[in-house]
A and B are shown apart, each in its own frame.
Chain A
Amino acid sequence: MIISVNWLKKYLQSDVDIDELTNLIGARLVEIESVTNLAEKYQSPVIAKVVECVAHPDSDHLHVCQIDDGGVVNDAPRNDDGYIQVVCGAPNVRKSLMVAWLPPGSIVPESYGTSDEFSLSSRKLRGVMSHGMLASPRELDLWNEHEGIMEISGDIAKPGMKLCDYLQLDDYLLEVENKSLTHRPDCFGVIGFAREVAAIMGGSARIPDWINNLDGDITSDEVSVVPSVKIVDSSLCSRYECIVLDNVDSSRNLPDDLRSLIGRVGVNSISAPVDITNYLMLDSGQPLHAFDLDKVMEVSPTGAADIVVRAAAKGETLELLDGRTINLDPADIVVAVGDQSNSVPIALAGAMGGMATEITRGTKRVLLESATFDLYHLRGTQFRHGVFSEAITRFTKGQPSPLTRPVLLQAVQMLKDYAGAKVISDIAEDYPLKPVKTEFEIPVARFTDVLGCYDDSGKVSAYSSDMIVETLTNLQYSDVSVKNESVKAVAPWWRTDQHIAEDVIEDIGRVTGFDNIAPDSPLRRYVAAPYNQLYERQMWLRDRLCKAGGNEVMSYSFIHGDLLDSVHDDKSQAYRIVNAISPDLQYYRRDILPSLIERARDNLRAGYDNFMLFELGKVHRRGLMDDTEPNLPAELSEVAGIVVDKAKHADSALYVVKKIVNYVLNLGDELKYVRLDKYSGQLDSSTNVYEPLRSAVLLIDGRYIGVVGELRNDVRQRFKLPEFVAGFSLMLGGLLSYIDRDIEYTPVSRYQGTSRDITYQVSNEVDYADVYSFTRRVLVDKLPDHIVAEVSPRDIYATSDGKRNITLHIDFHDLTKTIDAKLVGKVMDRLAKQSSNELNAHVI
């Protein structure tokens, strides 16, 4: 919303410096997004009088004019009479006209501040010298009219007067942030805004009397039409009133200064009747709507202006002013005509009028509406039908119903004054839901209990009753008094935002300055906050992955359905966003790895050859519900990674990620791997990305942790990944309880140990883990407790005849004495013998 400071100042008692004003507004009312000094744009235009106007000798539409600028512009070439020659192509240029002249060297206001500023000069137009130009309202950036040059009509205008002075363009425009005024319908009008600003400056606003004329009425010049109003449901519309005017002259215009006032805040000036409704809306916050009475009566089933405000019926349609025909929803409010059993919609209430009752140039009789509609219904309508106008912006804040009357009366007055209208009906009104007075009784101490203490230049004290009373009075609360240490007050009728004590406390804190509250510290018991275990573990995993050489990535939680398809996942099992920005962001990810695959592809393309990307995040799988909040989807914490190398390797990528996972988790023999195709448990469809013959399910204590492995060939090819690529997807839920496990400490032996290698020849059906765990088991079984044996892999060799030679290295230590080599020999024999039975192995 744009606020004109000059407009605002009309209602302030005292003048105020612009910097102080904007500081105060910013700190105590609403954030100002920008301040525009309008005067900069209007330094040059000067009012001049056309004293001579003759046809250009070499053109059928140009005129050569001599203008009188009162002699104020320096450096302009003048004729002997002191006039300046300007060539003008506007059809309305004529002798004696008062015009706005842009002297040479000035910038056309319409182009001011754009990247394409247009600067005027003295130059020949078809052989005749022209100095500067005579400008249209559009060129002057006043309002959008360009049929001819601006005709200046105000009494005060005289040659040599600056246009800036004539229209009070020495103004500042404040662009304020609407969002923080969502609850303040009153501040969507300059009058309401001024009330606040005045209170912030420590006084009261000088508000025009008409706005408080809540019970005023009007005497009609003659009663020739009798409109009626019926509100069917007061929860849709608390008040609707209207009046009929005749003789409304749409060819007239408001005075230039009013036209320029609404123009500068972004509302185009069109004609006096339209401008009056807009001006009053901007001034008061109350939108008005006008219907062509004769058209209303024509469509009315009763033949009369019988207004019915009701919910739209299913199946009803309405052609709007913008030409669209919409299907009405039962949650829309319509203004209809007829009787309660049969009425025809003529407007989408609060949003837009209907085409059938549109005001046109020929309209003479006007039905003028002033009403209050339910803001929640209107907001639904706004989004359903895509209506975003100044009027609905105000209606959806919930304008107070008492406001409809004074604004209607003022509109009638202005239409009489400026558009020649006369009143031909009484006011018709239905007002089923009157607001109740909001009275407050709040203990004085409560203000300090909520806000803290007030810091008056270093003097810190509680909020005093004097201060509270003065501020409420400035804000025009009524019946303000203090009794028994409590403040009593009645909120002004326009403050629809005041409901509870906190709302009044907010007024006091804000208007006296939140920045004057003394910062304090809460007292609390000196106990340490507990760590978040999940977070601590996640950070620990990140650090380990980093130490393994990884780069942490964050990728979007939403992915393309095609990505799920291309990794063979089931997208029907992913949550789908119905209003996604693009197909790229349509599904919740079910696993992090596919996003990493895409990132790996991009980084390879960018020239990186060898890297690991990893990410910790949440994934969501449709149908899986949360343990503690069963109405909501489960949130699975995952850690995933991908390792790629463009270089050729003799080795399999699987073993690299395995090594990384083993290192990161640091759980030694507790990690068990089972080839994906041999795993008997249920696998989620997200694991389809892995090649089953070259990937493993990771288990701890038989519990599923995730998958580690190489990608399917087609996935690898589709994403143009090199042959050496593997990934992992681990679910933290299963993992966390194990990471914290205490280690089992064995003392360091002080005695000399010994080591042996053993090579088992087994069939290639036998897994390394079979051999390894067999060895561990036999050693534990056969060795006394004081002898420790550590087993590590040394070599695996595939023989040409389809056998595997698996070599393990065993370190023996006796904690009590130097190791007994005979005992070691016996155990080694035992391994050879037992392995032949259990593994069908041959020790070589």
Chain B
Amino acid sequence: MKIDDVRDLLMGRLSELKNPHDILKAPELKALLGQIKDVPSDERAKFGAAVNSLRQELKQQADQLTQQAEQAAIVPLDVTAPFDDSNEQKVAGRPMLLPVEQATLHPLTVETKQLVDVFTRMGFVCEESRQIDDDFHMFSSLNFPPNHPARDGYDTFRTEEGYIPPAHTTAMENRVLSAGRQQLENGGVIAHISYGRVFRNEDADVTHDHTFNQFEGVYVSRDATLGQMLGMLKDFFETYYGQSLRIKTQPGYFPFTEPSLEFQIEKPAALGGGGKGGEWLEMLGCGMLHPNVLKAAGIDPTKYQGFAWGGGLERLVMLKYGIEDLRHFESGKLAFLRKFRG
């Protein structure tokens, strides 16, 4: 039989089949495929291609018919109704909520809530940070000149358009300062917390992930000092962990603060410190705001000064519960999530 005849025949038969894909098993098609080897070698390639193209055509047609059938089988719903229609075969049940005892909140949510709570009580306005930003907020407004080696510490991603998924919550600082300028000039202070996701181009392992959460504080007034910063952070952690704590610092370097410090606390009982002392936890980086950072936000550094700090959230949670792998947080595994409370 000629290829065209087979096509007409099989296309006709398609609509009668219960399963349209059975057409690919038709004896006529098999016969054509079998003929290929008998065709003279100079025509064989052409003939083979034609048979194959027929097969493809039939398959496409079958796919389409199957899809149409599936689509036709979809029963439209009255989406305005509270429940299904009952009928002779079916008694519709009333929809139920799920068992509440299996419900949980994410541990990072719970920790953020506690942080926000203490800082709000201390007089801070708390706000989630942006997740897509630009070079100005990520670097330039924070006293990082282009190509400054301090940029090396932040392996940033970039989008096609040149936007940056921020690598630190400090990217919020220029906004916070600019928005608070008026408040300062009216005799108030800037007291603000930014919290949220940050992104770094580094490989994931049990203590690193390309996505993690930070919280960032900034305080500006006429007379803020490094001593006030140390006192405020000490007070914060003592309230947060419900015990008195010793603190210590290490010099650090950030272009946006001068002086810059790393802040440590003695491991509190809540994080597994046995009260023996001597074990220190690095909690955050901090320092006095660099005058250029204030200037970039239109604040006169000869009249106002301030301090800022920023730290990671995951480690606090990992220490609190003894979580072994940072990657659990964003895994969505119920085996992990259901270890926590609602």
Q: Which residues of chain A have a CB within 8 Å of any CB of chain B? A: 26-31, 179-184, 375-377, 379-380, 396-397, 448-453, 500, 502-503, 505-506, 509-510, 514-515, 517-522, 524-525, 527-532, 534-535, 539, 542-543, 545-558, 575-581, 585, 588, 595-596, 598-599, 602-603, 606, 608, 610-613, 618, 620, 631-633, 635, 643, 649-652, 654-656, 658-660, 663, 672-676, 691, 693-696, 708-709, 713, 767-770, 772, 793, 795-800, 804
The stretch of B12-20, B43-51, B153-161 that contacts the partner chain: B153-161
Q: Tell me, rounded to whole Å, the shortest Cβ–Cβ distance linking A715 to chain B.
A: 13
The stretch of B28-36, B122-130, B271-279 that contacts the partner chain: B122-130
Tell me the B150-203 residues at the A interface (CB within 8 Å).
150-153, 157-161, 163, 165, 188-189, 191, 197, 199, 201-203
A800 vs B81: C-alpha distance in the bound complex, in angstroms? 19
Q: Tell me, rounded to whole Å, the shortest Cβ–Cβ distance linking B269 to chain A.
A: 21
From known contacts A522-B232, A651-B84, A798-B86, infer whether A553 and B98 are also in contact, taking CB-CB under 8 Å: no
Tell me the B136-162 residues at the A interface (CB within 8 Å).
145-153, 157-161
Query: Is the beta-carbon distance between A713 and B86 smaller than 8 angstroms?
Result: no
A514 vs B261: C-alpha distance in the bound complex, in angstroms? 8
Other A-B pairs beyond A28-B251, A450-B225, A655-B83, 9, CB < 8 Å: A524-B123, A535-B128, A548-B100, A554-B332, A602-B333, A633-B132, A650-B92, A793-B83, A800-B87
Residues of B within 8 A of A635 (CB): 130-132
Query: Is the beta-carbon distance between B227 and A520 smaller than 8 angstroms?
Result: yes
From known contacts A180-B253, A546-B105, infer whether A691 and B79 are also in contact, taking CB-CB under 8 Å: no
Is B250 part of the contact surface with A, judged by Cβ < 8 Å?
Answer: yes
Can you list 24 A-B pairs, Cβ within 8 angstroms, ordered by A? A27-B251, A180-B250, A502-B288, A514-B251, A515-B248, A518-B227, A519-B247, A520-B230, A522-B223, A524-B191, A546-B104, A547-B342, A550-B103, A551-B103, A552-B104, A552-B106, A553-B106, A557-B197, A558-B199, A579-B157, A598-B332, A651-B95, A768-B81, A793-B81
Tell me the B78-104 residues at the A interface (CB within 8 Å).
78-88, 90-93, 95-100, 102-104
Is B322 part of the contact surface with A, judged by Cβ < 8 Å?
Answer: no
Of B99, B125, B252, B333, which is within 8 A of A532 by CB? B125
Which 3 pairs, one residue from A and one from B, show the smallest C-beta to C-beta distance? A452-B227, A549-B98, A769-B80
Is B215 part of the contact surface with A, judged by Cβ < 8 Å?
Answer: no
Most buried by A among B113, B132, B165: B132
Identity of the chain A residue whose Cβ is nearest the Cβ of B76 in the assembled complex: A693
Query: Is the beta-carbon distance between B74 and A693 smaller than 8 angstroms?
Result: yes
Query: Is the beta-carbon distance between A599 and B98 smaller than 8 angstroms?
Result: no
Residues of B within 8 A of A797 (CB): 85-87
Q: Tell me, rounded to whole Å, the shortest Cβ–Cβ distance linking A757 to chain B.
A: 15
Residues of A within 8 A of B300 (CB): none
Most buried by A among B99, B106, B224, B338: B106
Most buried by A among B105, B125, B127, B260: B105
Is B291 part of the contact surface with A, judged by Cβ < 8 Å?
Answer: yes
A767 vs B79: C-alpha distance in the bound complex, in angstroms? 8
Of B76, B81, B221, which is within 8 A of A524 by CB? B221
Of B98, B120, B249, B332, which is within 8 A of A548 by CB? B98
Q: Which residues of chain B have a CB within 8 Å of any CB of chain A? A: 70, 74-88, 90-93, 95-100, 102-106, 108-109, 113, 116, 120, 122-128, 130-134, 145-153, 157-161, 163, 165, 188-189, 191, 197, 199, 201-203, 210-211, 219, 221, 223-228, 230-232, 234-235, 247-253, 255, 258-262, 288, 290-291, 305, 329-330, 332-335, 337-338, 342
Query: Is the beta-carbon distance between A551 and B334 smaller than 8 angstroms?
Result: yes
Majority secondary structure, A binding face: mixed
Residues of B within 8 A of A660 (CB): 97
Query: Is the beta-carbon distance between B103 and A577 smaller than 8 angstroms?
Result: no
Query: Is the beta-carbon distance between B249 and A27 smaller than 8 angstroms?
Result: yes
Query: Is the beta-carbon distance between A522 and B224 smaller than 8 angstroms?
Result: yes
Identity of the chain A residue whose Cβ is nearest the Cβ of B91 in the assembled complex: A650
Residues of B within 8 A of A554 (CB): 106, 108-109, 329-330, 332
Residues of B within 8 A of A603 (CB): 332-334
From known contacts A519-B227, A524-B123, A557-B211, infer whether A380 and B147 are also in contact, taking CB-CB under 8 Å: yes
From known contacts A31-B250, A183-B253, infer whether A452 and B226 are also in contact, taking CB-CB under 8 Å: yes
A460 vs B169: C-alpha distance in the bound complex, in angstroms? 35
Residues of A within 8 A of B160 (CB): 575-576, 578
A407 vs B85: C-alpha distance in the bound complex, in angstroms? 90
A27 vs B126: C-alpha distance in the bound complex, in angstroms? 31
Identity of the chain B residue whose Cβ is nearest the Cβ of A500 in the assembled complex: B291
Query: Is the beta-carbon distance between B334 and A606 smaller than 8 angstroms?
Result: yes
A552 vs B103: C-alpha distance in the bound complex, in angstroms? 8
Query: Is the beta-carbon distance between A531 and B120 smaller than 8 angstroms?
Result: yes
Query: Is the beta-carbon distance between A675 and B79 smaller than 8 angstroms?
Result: yes
Query: Is the beta-carbon distance between B85 and A534 smaller than 8 angstroms?
Result: no
Q: Tell me, rounded to whole Å, the shortest Cβ–Cβ distance linking B252 to chain A.
A: 5
From known contacts A31-B262, A542-B105, infer whether A555 and B188 are also in contact, taking CB-CB under 8 Å: no
Residues of B within 8 A of A525 (CB): 188-189
Of B74, B90, B123, B253, which is within 8 A of A650 by CB? B90
Residues of A within 8 A of B221 (CB): 522, 524
A546 vs B100: C-alpha distance in the bound complex, in angstroms? 7
Identity of the chain A residue whose Cβ is nearest the Cβ of B71 in the assembled complex: A713
A598 vs B78: C-alpha distance in the bound complex, in angstroms? 28
A546 vs B248: C-alpha distance in the bound complex, in angstroms? 40
From known contacts A502-B290, A797-B86, infer whether A180 and B191 are also in contact, taking CB-CB under 8 Å: no
A527 vs B160: C-alpha distance in the bound complex, in angstroms? 45
Query: Is the beta-carbon distance between B131 and A510 smaller than 8 angstroms?
Result: no
Residues of A within 8 A of B199 (CB): 557-558
Query: Is the beta-carbon distance between B210 and A581 smaller than 8 angstroms?
Result: yes
A521 vs B189: C-alpha distance in the bound complex, in angstroms? 14
